Amino acid sequence: MLDAIIKAYNEAVFETDKDAAFEVVAQALAAGMTPEDIVFNVVIPAVEEMMSHITKDPDANLAQHFMTAQIASAVTEKMLEKFQHPPETIGQLVIGTAFGDLHSLGKRIVIGCLKAMMVNVIDLGVNVPAERFVDEAIKHNAQVIGISAMMVHSAIGEEGCRKVRRILRERGLEDRFRIVVGGAPYRFDEQLYKVVGADGWAADAVNGAKVIVDMIREVKAL
């Protein structure tokens, strides 16, 4: 039965058909699968497969990956309501678009993937001041600060990642958090993340989720 459910769910996701995906989930529940099984054996593997696919094909359809992430997030949130015991989250992330930048699509894909992978995400929105990134990371006991920038001026500007790094240094918090950046400027210059003071970057939103999960685990292991 599990193989059939996985196949049907993956087909629905590939077609970006949210209603069909939820119908598959409803049938799985009716057949006796637990919400936990659906999340950990159906949804998360589908997200991981998407990550693998986009790694092999960087030009893969962005809209399709956006819908896949959103479907995964929506299904996971619905199943979490039915868990017998609240699941343990991998960790916490605060994420937002850098000050002076109003783009959000890439960030929303990252969030969808991470929610499906049991990461607690605090979305700060767009045009986020550097101080707020740090204050919210402290408030929510996050391990990682994610900063999206789709424009060069917001990526390299003094109100973006550079200032977040400076604030962490001034407050003696550099060992407590990792900074991950993403967006078009970093694809054009793969060393730019170092210039602005980040700890890591990803070429796309899907792989950004993987980088963030790895860094959360790194921080928690300290």
- One-character DSSP codes across 127-175: SB-HHHHHHHHHHTT-SEEEEE--SHHHHHSTTTHHHHHHHHHHTT-TT
* Average pLDDT of span 19-34: 91
Q: What pLDDT does residue 180 have?
A: 97
> Up-side HSE of residue 168: CA atoms within 13 Å toward CB?
25
Q: What pLDDT does residue 126 have?
A: 94
Report d(CA 219, CA 97) in Å as an integer. 22
Per-residue pLDDT band at 194 (split at 50, 70, 90): very high
Task: List pLDDT tens digits, range 113-164.
Answer: 888 888 999 999 999 999 999 999 999 999 999 999 989 999 999 999 999 9
* Average pLDDT of span 190-199: 95
What percent of the chain shows pLDDT beyond 90?
50
Q: Structural domains in the chain?
A: 2-80 (1.10.1240.10), 91-220 (3.40.50.280)
Q: What pLDDT does residue 64 have?
A: 72
- The pTM of the full predicted model, rounded to 2 decimals, is 0.80
Task: Give the pairing of strands 91-97 and 144-148.
Answer: parallel
Helix, strand or coil, per DSSP, at residue 58: coil
Give long-range contacts, CB 8 A cutoff, 24+ apart: 207-212: 207/51, 207/54, 207/55, 208/106, 208/110, 208/146, 208/180, 208/182, 209/47, 209/51, 209/109, 209/110, 209/113, 209/114, 209/117, 210/51, 211/180, 212/93, 212/110, 212/114, 212/119, 212/144, 212/146, 212/180
CA angle (76 as vertex; 184, 148 as ends), nearest 5: 15
